[in-house]
């Protein structure tokens, strides 16, 4: 009980509350702007939060994560331009509802469903994290190696257009993580004589480049695009009729979202799409979906925000990111000198409870801020891109530079930006690369330790049933896209 109170005390201190509110504001703002997203906001914030207390920094990012997911829905509903990928499904019914003059009702439904999903997933987060950590504390390097392989295999089914390209991007990330001194022998790898690379590639400039600079290059091509004007919106909370109508959908989607969030590598976007599909499948008014039905907003919104709490479970309990954004939070934890994993909750439980508190406050805060300021946040889309993106680039340069006061990091950021731009153009996602980069070191370290344990006899890895279980799940994870496609094809044949 003491760590819970201590953690909540930390989260509810005036200073941390102010940072949480700032995180919510930044999150809603970045979420609402098409092109800007919560991963981008966290990547930009990371260098500046290094100087904060670790608890304060992570609380701020956790609140930003929740709020950013909701922020995307504002523009999805009002102008059919999802501010962030998890809000794509919200636009299917949110925008038609707004078009028939019920924008306020749509926003209210989105906010309430989002908060409910977020809070329900936090309950799972706070119960499941210590339990999972307790199981994981008995893991030895072979089990961790197998778990990391499983997490990377899930990149095959992460959101994005192509499983193959996600896997390539993940493998490239793992390869980049090998840059620097090899821990086992002290030999330098791929450093090209740059002393700045002896300790490996810094995460932060790479993250800023992949998310912010590549997006700026994409946006440079649409700088002259006209921006839709926002109509006057009065947001209203859903009435009892609406609440009764969507209650089942919200509960179901919250469960789906939390479960998908817990799966390594899966994130809010997948959760939202499944949440929408399930809402449609269970609805007696299936044919009305896409015309502006409340369930079509509640389903994806509850699911995408529930995924945020779920995604924190493997991130904090195992050190395996539950989504692209939590990969960045994991990078922040590492930058603050923490080793995420079961020992984090065992040694500093109050830290995990503080994050829980911050996310809970974040959820309530974005309900208030989101509802009160929806009109204002939507107006932010009116900021000319010709000013907005140079601002983002300015912050990127300052952020990359300020990390270690070196222009080398700024160059790394630019290279990562160009690589990210080319990758996106050819269908490779930035999130899988980040996952690979973050998990790569763990993968190599645990493999080396396992081989020392087993005298370089590879097959002995299979002596552990847990290892076999994770490998089986990894094979399933890799095969899942093909299985799912076959199942879908069979269903459509049966329908015909």
Partner 1 sequence: MRRPAPGRVHRTDLALGLTILALVGAGFYLCTTFEEVSPLFADSIPPEFFPRLMLWVIGVLALLLPFEHAFRRKRGDSGLDEDRKDAVRPIAYITFAAALALVAAAEWLGAYLTLVAICFALPLLWGERRWTPLAAFALGFPTAVMVLFTQAFQIYFQPGVFGLSLN
Binding site for partner 1 (CB under 8 A): 48, 51, 161-162, 164-165, 167-168, 171-172, 174-175, 178, 182, 184-185, 187-190, 213, 216-218, 220-221, 223-224, 384-387, 389-391, 393-395, 397-398, 401-402, 405, 407, 410-411, 414, 417-418, 421, 424-427, 444, 447-448, 451-452, 456, 485, 488-489
Choice between 40 and 168, CB closer to partner 1: 168
Task: State in angstroms the smallest separation of the CB of 413 from partner 1.
Answer: 9
Choice between 48 and 480, CB closer to partner 1: 48
Q: How far apart are CA 189 and CA 178, in angstroms?
A: 7
CA angle 453–459–465, rounded 5-degree value: 80
- Which residues, 6 or more positions from 162, have their beta carbon under 8 angstroms from its beta carbon? 427
Residue 5, CB-side half-sphere exposure with 13 Å CA sphere: 2
Q: CA dihedral in degrees (298, 303, 304, 309; nearest 10)?
A: 130
Task: State in angstroms the smallest separation of the CB of 69 from partner 1.
Answer: 23
Q: How far apart are CA 301 and CA 112, in angstroms?
A: 9
Task: State in angstroms the smallest separation of the CB of 35 from partner 1.
Answer: 14
Choice between 54 and 322, CB closer to partner 1: 54
Q: How far is CA 47 from the centre of its chain?
A: 18
Length of the chain counted residue by residue: 496
Choice between 82 and 117, CB closer to partner 1: 82
Task: State in angstroms the smallest separation of the CB of 448 from partner 1.
Answer: 5
The label of the residue with tokens 């109050």 reads 350
Quote the strand ranges of 51-195, DSSP E: 180-181, 188-189
Which three-class secondary structure state does DSSP give residue 323? coil
DSSP 89: H
Instruction: Please measure the distance between the N-terminal and C-terminal CA atoms of the chain and give it in whole angstroms.
Output: 58
Choice between 418 and 475, CB closer to partner 1: 418
Choice between 290 and 407, CB closer to partner 1: 407
DSSP 229: P
DSSP 320: -
Task: State in angstroms the smallest separation of the CB of 384 from partner 1.
Answer: 7
Task: State in angstroms the smallest separation of the CB of 20 from partner 1.
Answer: 18
Choice between 337 and 405, CB closer to partner 1: 405
The backbone torsions φ and ψ at residue 181, rounded to the nearest 5 degrees and listed phi first, read -75, 130
Say if strands 188-189 and 180-181 run parallel, antiparallel, or are unpaired.
antiparallel
Choice between 13 and 406, CB closer to partner 1: 406
Task: State in angstroms the smallest separation of the CB of 61 from partner 1.
Answer: 17
CA angle 171–461–190, rounded 5-degree value: 35
Task: State in angstroms the smallest separation of the CB of 234 from partner 1.
Answer: 30
């Amino acid at each position: 009980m003491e760590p819970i109170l201590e953690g909540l005390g930390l989260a509810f201190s005036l200073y941390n509350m102010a940072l949480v509110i700032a995180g919510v504001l930044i999150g809603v703002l970045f979420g609402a702007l098409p092109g800007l997203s919560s991963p981008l906001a966290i990547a930009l914030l990371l260098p500046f939060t290094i100087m904060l207390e670790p608890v304060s920094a992570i609380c701020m990012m956790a609140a930003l994560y929740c709020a950013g997911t909701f922020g995307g829905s504002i523009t999805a509903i009002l102008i059919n331009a999802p501010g962030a990928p998890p809000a794509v499904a919200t636009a299917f019914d949110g925008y038609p509802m707004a078009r028939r003059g019920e924008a306020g009702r749509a926003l209210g439904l989105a906010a309430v469903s989002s908060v409910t999903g977020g809070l329900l997933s936090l309950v799972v987060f706070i119960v499941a994290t210590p339990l999972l950590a307790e199981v994981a504390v008995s893991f030895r390097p072979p089990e961790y190696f197998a778990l990391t392989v499983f997490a990377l295999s899930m990149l095959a089914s992460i959101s994005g257009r192509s499983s193959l390209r996600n896997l390539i991007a993940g493998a490239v990330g793992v390869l980049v993580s090998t840059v620097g001194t090899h821990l086992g022998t002290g030999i330098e790898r791929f450093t090209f004589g740059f002393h700045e690379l002896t300790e490996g590639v810094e995460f932060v400039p790479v993250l800023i480049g992949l998310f912010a600079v590549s997006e700026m290059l994409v946006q440079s091509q649409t700088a002259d695009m006209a921006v839709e004007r926002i109509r006057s919106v009065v947001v209203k909370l859903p009435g009892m009729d609406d609440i009764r109508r969507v209650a089942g959908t919200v509960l179901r989607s919250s469960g789906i979202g939390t479960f998908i969030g817990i799966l390594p590598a899966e994130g809010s976007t997948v959760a939202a799409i499944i949440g929408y599909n399930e809402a449609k499948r269970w609805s007696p008014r299936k044919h009305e979906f896409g015309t502006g039905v409340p369930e079509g907003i509640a389903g994806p919104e509850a699911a995408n925000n529930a995924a945020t709490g779920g995604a924190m479970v493997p991130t904090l309990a195992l050190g395996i990111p539950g989504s692209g954004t939590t990969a960045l939070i994991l990078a922040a934890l590492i930058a603050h000198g923490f080793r995420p994993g079961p020992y984090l909750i065992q040694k500093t439980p109050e830290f995990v409870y503080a994050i829980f508190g911050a996310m809970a406050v974040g959820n309530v805060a974005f309900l208030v801020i989101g509802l009160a300021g929806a009109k204002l946040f939507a107006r932010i889309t009116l900021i000319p891109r010709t000013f907005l993106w140079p601002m983002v680039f300015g912050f990127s340069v300052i952020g990359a530079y300020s990390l270690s006061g070196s222009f080398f990091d700024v160059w790394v950021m630019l290279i990562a930006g160009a690589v990210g731009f080319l990758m996106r153009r050819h269908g490779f996602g930035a999130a899988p690369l980040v996952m690979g980069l973050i998990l790569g070191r763990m993968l190599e370290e645990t493999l080396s330790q396992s081989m020392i344990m087993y005298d370089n006899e590879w097959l002995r890895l299979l002596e552990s049933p847990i290892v076999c279980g994770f490998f089986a799940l990894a094979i399933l994870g890799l095969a899942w896209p093909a299985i799912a496609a076959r199942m879908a094809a069979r269903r459509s044949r049966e329908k015909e």
